[in-house]
Chains A and B, each alone.
Chain A
Amino acid sequence: MTTDQQTIEATRAAFEDIIDEAPLPPEWSTVTGSVQRLHLREDRPRWLVGVGAALGAAAVVIVAIGAVVVFSDGSNDAQGTPATTEVPPTTAAPELTSTTAVPKGASAPIDITDGITVVASSELPGFEAIHLVDGDLDRAWNDAGLRGLDAEITITFSHPVGVGYLVVHPLRDEERFLRNYRVQGYEITTDDLAEPISGRLTDTLDPQQIDVASTATTVLTLKVTTRYPSQPFDGGPPFDELAIAEIRVFGDPLLDEPSATNPIDTTTTIAPPVIVESTTSRFTSPDLDVPEDPFLWDHYVANAKSGDVPVELRGQLFKVNYEVMKPMGALPLEYYSDVYEVGVHESATFLLDPDSNILVSIGWQEWDAADAPDANPLGFPDDAVSEQWGPDRVLINIDADRGEFGLVNESIMKVVRFATLNTAQGSSPLTISEAEMRRIAADVFAVIES
């Protein structure tokens, strides 16, 4: 029997061997010299090609939107004021790149806004968050008449990117600009930066840049901490909405980086971020048999939010802990709207929800019975294991693939409920036999494979 202390000591010895072979860290001058060389390399037309592509894409978007762009703020109309300026179709292409709107220098990152998803804490009908990234400066996001209080904008990337900076475009029509609330103070958090970035925008019609400098961001949140108040303009009353016309994200899409021996091909345009389809789930359920990129799993695992679902067992209500995954890069986004990863609980020292007595873990995790026979005492198939969790708790793992955490969707939650329902016997909940656990696992897999 291996004790915790033995495991720790054996592991520490392994780390000692690894660290013994670690090189000396490079000198500062070596590192900074590399940076200077990189800047020289980035002076090549790569960025120009990327920016040109972004400009082209923006122009296409604007042209497609065409002449129907009209300011018709529902809330503003409701306040009895006329809709503001119509934009003639000929003014189609607004300035959307920081290289023109906010000069950044020759090494400016490229526009990586396309393909991101954006969600706001609230939105006014007709002024949804999607307008923040639609490439159209004349269509804006408004909060739902909350004067910018607790306003948050969450941007999610399809895979980790390095965010260099944001460019925030206010409403560019002076009347609309002044009659709405504007961002003053902000706080930006990302899932890869330890510290939030806070600052203050100037109350100006010009677009403004917010530096981020993250390295591998999948989720970025911009929180409005203070606002410039709306004000009457030319007899028109002030509005209760905070408005932003557009947010563009510039940075590094973290595609394969050029090396010294494989310099940038200056004739190649920058491809949009892609989802690598490298594996297929072992589950045969249509809901789960989707391409996934296991190498990106880590990035969404850290971004789950937890909660619980009620499960009724023989007339008694229990809670099942779960974690809802935010949209990330491992699967096509459409699979994330109702994707769950159910929480796992390892030892009694963990902070368990005292009101929860059903703890379920469902993930895709390789279960190598040959390597870890003791961990699968019930002899479930390689991709499933269930174990009793304490005298009044049950842990069900349905695991497959690569030792990382995985996903279940709503259909699998039904399976979980089905399984947990079957664990409830009599008035003493969830004290079940090994034989019953075997039956549950068989039932679960029968449903999954059906």
Chain B
Amino acid sequence: MGVTDEEIYVKYRDELIRYAAVLVGPSDAEDVLSSVVMRALKSGRSLADLNEPRPYLMKAVLHESLNRKKRRRTEDLGDYAVEAKQSQPEVLKAVIDLPTRQRAAIYLSYWGGMNSNEVAEIMGCRPATVRRYVHLAKRKLEAVLSDDD
């Protein structure tokens, strides 16, 4: 018997909600994840039909986040805020202020421990583009950290 859509969802949902939280903020993460699954299901497509559901879902989360950000920016609502507990507030703010794709790239690289090829698969772009995202993000973060020194 094959894997069901629900089993696939349950398998990846924790990872997906964390990724969504990083991209759009904790308060909107649930909406993003729900929207991704809704879009997949309303199109009549089964998650179980996918050979590689994880990169598909991760990419869908990124695109949904970008679309959401686009709409929000249009409404001038700004970025999200998170309380700094373990991190330096300036670094946390710098991370949140990164463009979404740069934040995704650096999250998957630094937090997820993926190399640029793996991140590229998740993000749907070329490894060189991932390296560029990471570079630009790192440059901004290093600048913040240097200011703290």
Chain A residues close to B by CB (< 8 Å): 1-2, 4, 6-8, 10-26, 28, 30-32, 34-35, 38-39, 42, 107, 109, 160, 162, 164-165, 191-195, 211, 213, 215-216, 252, 254, 256, 276, 278, 295-296, 298-299, 301-302, 304, 306, 343-344, 346-347, 350-351, 365, 371-375, 402-405
* Total B residues in contact with A, Cβ cutoff 8 Å: 86
For window 36-87 of chain B, which residues contact chain A by CB distance below 8 Å? 36-45, 50-52, 55-56, 59-60, 63-64, 66-67, 69-71, 73-74, 82-87
Contact A160/B34 with A2-B146, A18-B82, A372-B143 known, Cβ cut-off 8 Å: no
A35 touches B38 (CB 8 A): yes
> Which residue from B59, B92, B102 sits with its C-beta under 8 Å from A192?
B59
> Which residue from A11, A21, A350, A402 sits with its C-beta under 8 Å from B128?
A350
Which B residues lie within 8 Å of A42 (CB)? 42
> Which residue from A23, A39, A213 sits with its C-beta under 8 Å from B40?
A213
What is the CB-to-nearest-CB distance from A231 to chain B, in angstroms, rounded to a whole number?
Answer: 34
Contact A302/B125 with A21-B21, A31-B37 known, Cβ cut-off 8 Å: yes
> Which residue from A6, A10, A13, A296 sits with its C-beta under 8 Å from B70?
A296
B52 touches A195 (CB 8 A): yes
CA distance in complex: A21, B18 (Å):
9
Which B residues lie within 8 Å of A17 (CB)? 82-87, 92
A15 touches B107 (CB 8 A): yes
5 shortest interchain CB distances as A-B pairs: A216-B63, A302-B125, A22-B21, A346-B135, A372-B143
Contact A34/B29 with A21-B21, A216-B66 known, Cβ cut-off 8 Å: no
A16 touches B132 (CB 8 A): no
B121 touches A10 (CB 8 A): no
CA distance in complex: A22, B121 (Å):
24
For window 79-120 of chain B, which residues contact chain A by CB distance below 8 Å? 82-88, 91-92, 94-96, 98-102, 106-107, 110-111
Which B residues lie within 8 Å of A10 (CB)? 87-88, 91, 141, 145
> Which residue from A8, A31, A344 sits with its C-beta under 8 Å from B110?
A8
A-B contact count (CB 8 A): 217
What is the CB-to-nearest-CB distance from A372 to chain B, in angstroms, rounded to a whole number?
Answer: 4
> Which residue from A11, A25, A109, A347 sits with its C-beta under 8 Å from B17?
A25
Chain B residue nearest in CB terms to A104: B44
A346 touches B142 (CB 8 A): no
B125 touches A301 (CB 8 A): yes
B132 touches A405 (CB 8 A): yes
Which A residues lie within 8 Å of B74 (CB)? 276, 278, 295
B73 touches A213 (CB 8 A): no
Chain B residue nearest in CB terms to A159: B70
CA distance in complex: A11, B10 (Å):
28
CA distance in complex: A1, B94 (Å):
18
> Which residue from A7, A254, A403 sits with its C-beta under 8 Å from B141?
A7
What is the CB-to-nearest-CB distance from A32 to chain B, in angstroms, rounded to a whole number?
Answer: 7
CA distance in complex: A402, B71 (Å):
17
A19 touches B18 (CB 8 A): yes
A374 touches B99 (CB 8 A): no
